[in-house]
Structure 1
């Protein structure tokens, strides 16, 4: 059974709403045969990454960059996972007060270095998430999980 690892830093109600939508999409009953594992960015390990077949990343944009927690995650897993995880699919969402450009650039750069393949477009949200933002996160979770289910079929 393929495993989807959701690595997130969820320090605010806005980030929590997006995270919950991603989890709901990834665990929708219509998608069968995918194990979903959730880890806070500060507790996710290289073993978690190596044991997963795909990834969903979530972060606030802090001072024009990903959160320190997600950066720490990448710092801890980059070299131990570099060769073993090439070609695996991923998706991500970013929430910011007014700009997410630097955070998006960082995630794209790091995941390109890892050789991961983006399964679908990123979800970027500024300000308070609206219904469309929450729905987009649900779709993100469902799309990445379905990609793993289809790959295993």
Structure 2
């Protein structure tokens, strides 16, 4: 079994629905050799990343940036993972009330420094909440799981 860890801050019912949709995508019945699990960013640490075959990050946009919880995860994990997770496949989604630009840039900057490999176009769910965001998040989870399951990454 290969492992995808979802590190997603979900402080509201809507962000919890997005996180759950990602997990549904990972658990799609056609995906047989992949397991997914969610860890809240304040509980996640470098050992979770080091034991993962891929990572999906999720965060609301807070003041034009990622959530403080996800930033805290990176602060505690960055140097422990550096040089041990090169080319780790990852993807991310942002629940953005605005345009998500600052959050997108910050996540790409940190993960770029860690030399992780972004395997999907970043998913920015912006504007008023739309239930279609859940379908997009489910597709993101399925895409990462299918790519990992097929050996694409």
Q: Give your verdict on TM over 0.5.
A: yes
Q: Conserved in 2, the CA contact under 8 Å of 1:119 and 1:143?
A: no
User: Aligned partners of 1:47, 1:83: CA distance in 2, in Å?
Assistant: 14
1:26 aligns with 26
User: Aligned partners of 2:86, 2:122: CA distance in 1, in Å?
Assistant: 19
Segments of 4+ moved more than 6 angstroms: none
The 10-residue stretch of structure 1 (121-130 or 10-19) with the greater mean CA deviation from structure 2:
121-130
User: Aligned partners of 2:37, 2:22: CA distance in 1, in Å?
Assistant: 12
Aligned length: 153
2:106 aligns with 106
The within-5 A match list for 1:2-21 is 2-21=2-21
What's the CA shift for 1:119? 1.1
1:75-102 superposed Cα distances (whole Å, 9 cap, x missing partner):
1111101111111100110012223111
TM-score, normalisation: structure 1: 0.94
Aligned-residue CA RMSD in angstroms?
1.5
What's the CA shift for 1:129? 3.1
The within-5 A match list for 1:56-67 is 56-67=56-67
What's the CA shift for 1:128? 3.4
3-state secondary structure, aligned to 1:65: coil
What's the CA shift for 1:29? 1.2
Q: Conserved in 2, the CA contact under 8 Å of 1:14 and 1:128?
A: no
What's the CA shift for 1:17? 1.6
User: Aligned partners of 1:16, 1:38: CA distance in 2, in Å?
Assistant: 11
What's the CA shift for 1:107? 0.6
1:16-44 superposed Cα distances (whole Å, 9 cap, x missing partner):
12111111101111111112121000000
3-state secondary structure, aligned to 1:105: helix
2:89 aligns with 89
3-state secondary structure, aligned to 1:62: coil
What's the CA shift for 1:148? 1.4
Please, which runs of 5 or more residues in structure 2 have no aligned partner? none
What's the CA shift for 1:125? 1.1
TM-score, normalisation: structure 2: 0.94
